[in-house]
């Protein structure tokens, strides 16, 4: 399954958090496809996404959903038994995250990187056409905001990425452009509370 699709589909299983807990690096379904995204918007967002993911891996990150569900990533130097990412949902259930595809700051960055590795970077027409099989990126009328429409197994999901200081800071999403009624806030850095979430998830793993 497409890494982007994985990330969005898990929203239904851990409340408001958009996450993907496992999968492969295969680019996904071709229908319904979008018209290729304009190069400027795609490239601008790709740079923000790549910077956000790299920074998150370096200093850590926490994503908190509207209902209090939380996902954390800690630097490798703070990993516990080799694990560095976990979630806690609104029912206080814990789980480990095995790939950075499960984090919003990294999911689309990873997909764009896969396109480049396959020889179709989004700087090329072929790369933008490949991205359009699952994802459309547009600039919003508001500054530092990107509107992203994704195909998740034939269903369109609408997201709005808000950028602050060059990093993804907030994602609003929903099932229509006029109903972005779910929100994820992103905080960079690692706190003792983040470590506690990871430690608990490691202890509770099967």
> What are the pLDDT digits (tens) for 71-119?
999 999 999 999 999 999 989 899 999 988 888 879 889 999 999 999 9
State yes or no: pLDDT of 24 exceeds 50.
no
Give the predicted TM-score (pTM) of the model.
0.80
- Band (pLDDT 50/70/90 cuts) for residue 205 is confident
The count of other CB atoms within 10 Å of the CB of residue 29 is: 15
Query: Cα–Cα distance between 142 and 138 in angstroms, integer?
Result: 11
- Band (pLDDT 50/70/90 cuts) for residue 47 is very high
Q: Kindly give the pairing relationship between strand 135-139 and strand 94-96.
A: unpaired
List the 182-188 sheet strands across, edge first: 94-96, 85-88, 70-73, 61-65, 182-188, 167-174, 155-164, 145-152, 135-139
- pLDDT for position 39: 59
Classify each residue of 46-75 as buried b or exposed e, where b means 16 or more C-beta atoms within 10 Å of its C-beta.
bebbbbbbebbbeebbbbbbeeebbbbbbe
Angle between helices 39-59 and 104-117 (to 10 degrees): 120
Query: Cα–Cα distance between 85 and 73 in angstroms, integer?
Result: 4
Query: Cα–Cα distance between 189 and 73 in angstroms, integer?
Result: 9
Range of the domain at 136: 3-204
SS3 190: coil
- Band (pLDDT 50/70/90 cuts) for residue 200 is very high
Total number of domains in the chain: 1
Q: What percent of the chain is modeled with pLDDT above 70?
A: 81
State yes or no: pLDDT of 138 exceeds 80.
yes
């Amino acid at each position: 399954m497409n890494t982007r699709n994985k990330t969005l589909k898990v929203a239904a299983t851990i409340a408001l958090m958009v996450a993907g807990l496992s999968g492969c690096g295969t680019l996904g379904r071709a229908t319904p496809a979008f018209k290729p995204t304009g190069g400027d918007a795609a490239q601008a967002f790709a740079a923000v996404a790549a910077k956000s993911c790299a920074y998150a891996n370096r200093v850590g990150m926490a994503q908190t959903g509207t209902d209090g569900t939380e996902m954390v990533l800690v630097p490798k130097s703070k990993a516990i038994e080799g694990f560095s990412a976990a979630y806690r949902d609104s029912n206080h259930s814990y789980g480990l995250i095995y790939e950075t595809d499960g984090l919003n700051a990294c999911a689309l960055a990873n997909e764009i990187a896969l396109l480049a590795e396959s020889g179709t970077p989004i700087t090329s027409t072929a790369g933008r056409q490949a991205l359009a099989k699952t994802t459309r990126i547009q600039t919003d009328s508001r500054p530092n905001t990107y509107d992203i429409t994704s195909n998740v197994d034939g269903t369109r999901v609408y997201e709005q990425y808000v950028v602050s200081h060059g990093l993804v800071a907030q994602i609003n999403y929903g099932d229509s452009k006029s109903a972005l009624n779910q929100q994820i806030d992103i905080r960079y850095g690692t706190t003792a509370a983040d470590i506690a979430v990871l430690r608990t998830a490691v202890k509770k793993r099967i």
